[in-house]
Structure 1
């Protein structure tokens, strides 16, 4: 008769760390977001947090505020997402990027690295096929990411700008693509370490990725996407080459096929 209570206690203790991890750094009340909501998503209504549709993972405390990993996922069977906006409430330009996703990426499993300038909520607001909006997010402790010095010399930046690499892998029977692009993505808040002058903003503004005739995703970005951006995404098996079109704020264009 006493086995059941003991078993329940053991199971609750085992489950404790898992539950703690799930809510380790949830979104916090944000006056900044209250002011931004209408201009960013077009409504004062707060999108619901619905983990059955959308999840976002980011570290509680970032090792590098200029390279904060963000992973946005959906459980199997979740309704398809058509658009998503990634927001860092406390950044000088809060909208990090706006994404459009093709059906080949559903259910979504998408990773990107961003800059975080101050302790802040980091949130993703997704628009579903039926027009509903849902939200997911985390509170991230990071500081100074938008003004962090570039990781390379200006000569190296100019010599490698626009170079791309693409790698395919397979996880649990699902293809994953990893796209890497060489670009400093200057935020406009950084200083040249030699001249100490402010470096003007210069970043990849438009990115389009397709496989054959099938759209995978597009991005319209701001200053918060990291230097040398990396995008990792699951997608349905497809036919044809993966093609990438990138354009930065200076009007430079790079096109490559893999």
Structure 2
């Protein structure tokens, strides 16, 4: 897990934005390329290998709504490749806190695709960095035109957001004839949470709303980890994670989440023979 380093990096970005001081390597769009500095700050200057055959990232070139930009991460290792993807780190270069999320893939879950929604604050490169079991990092990137996503007002008012706080929904996408041990599955986890970025302004008081977001999420089939996420301010309101994985025949699916104020949210679902 990213742990303390991740949280310190997010806090540094928020403080810089709040006081008008840019983060060391997060310049205005097109001023210079912040990526070399981010490699140093986030990945301790480890070597970056070409990830074209390892990891793919898909985002719209021009976002319709900068506060909810869809992003899909897809592993591309061939079936005969004995390496395994351990983690995927999503970096939105020009955001106030560029490190958006880090995903840990369960050892036996064979997660091959992860989709979510993110805030994009400026025209920017977006990088996906996969760490493989060979100990190396593999990088790919895309470019997104969007602005203002981190400071966009919340879609829901405070009362509505609080009424849904911590509500977790699980949505499976079963295929015809699918059983509990039939291989690949697709599912979605949705968490009711404002995920305030710390850069949004209360329209009544004209004061900044403090950062308040889901920073930890772990998904399990029985007691086997499927996917874990450590998230930051770039994950959109009401976090939504869609993913593919391989069933181990489990009869239970569980989600454990925690936010930056220490609230713990948990929910479990029974899985029948149809995968629902």
TM superposition score normalised by structure 2: 0.79
Q: Specify which of 191, 196, 210 is matched with residue 181 of structure 1.
A: 191
1:131 aligns with 2:135: yes
1:43 aligns with 2:53: no
TM-superposition CA deviations, 1:219-239 (whole Å, max 9, x none): 111100010011000010231
Alignment of 1:164-243 (within 5 A): 164-170=168-174, 174-238=184-248, 239-243=250-254
TM-superposition CA deviations, 1:113-161 (whole Å, max 9, x none): 1110000011111100111110122110010000010000101111111
- Structure 1 residues 30 and 218 mapped into 2: Cα distance closer, same or farther (>3 Å)? farther
2 CA distance for matches of 1:221 and 1:158?
20
2 CA distance for matches of 1:202 and 1:36?
24
2 CA distance for matches of 1:69 and 1:171?
24
Task: Determine which structure has more spread, i.e. the larger CA radius of gyration.
Answer: 1
| Structure 2 gap segments, 5+ residues each | 1-29, 177-182, 270-276
Paired residue secondary structure (1:235): strand
- Structure 1 residues 133 and 44 mapped into 2: Cα distance closer, same or farther (>3 Å)? closer
What is the aligned partner in structure 2 of residue 31 from structure 1? 33
What is the aligned partner in structure 2 of residue 255 from structure 1? 266
Q: Specify which of 114, 117, 129 is matched with residue 118 of structure 2.
A: 114
2 CA distance for matches of 1:30 and 1:235?
39
1 CA distance for matches of 2:148 and 2:127?
19
2 CA distance for matches of 1:50 and 1:122?
14
- Structure 1 residues 135 and 170 mapped into 2: Cα distance closer, same or farther (>3 Å)? farther
TM-superposition CA deviations, 1:181-220 (whole Å, max 9, x none): 0001000000112222210000001111111011011111
1 CA distance for matches of 2:175 and 2:64?
26
Q: Specify which of 122, 141, 147 is matched with residue 143 of structure 1.
A: 147
2:111–2:226 contact (8 Å) kept in structure 1: no
| Structure 1 gap segments, 5+ residues each | 1-27
What is the aligned partner in structure 2 of residue 87 from structure 1? 91
2 CA distance for matches of 1:32 and 1:194?
36
TM superposition score normalised by structure 1: 0.84
Worse-superposed segment, 155-164 or 74-83: 74-83
1:105–1:233 contact (8 Å) kept in structure 2: no
2:109–2:225 contact (8 Å) kept in structure 1: no
Displacement after TM superposition at 1:174 (Å) = 2.7
The alignment yields a C-alpha RMSD, in angstroms, of: 1.9
2 CA distance for matches of 1:160 and 1:123?
32
Runs of 4 or more above 4 Å deviation: none
2 CA distance for matches of 1:105 and 1:207?
16
1 CA distance for matches of 2:265 and 2:61?
35
1 CA distance for matches of 2:54 and 2:266?
34
Paired residue secondary structure (2:39): helix
In terms of fraction of residues, the more helix-rich structure is 1
What is the aligned partner in structure 2 of residue 14 from structure 1? none
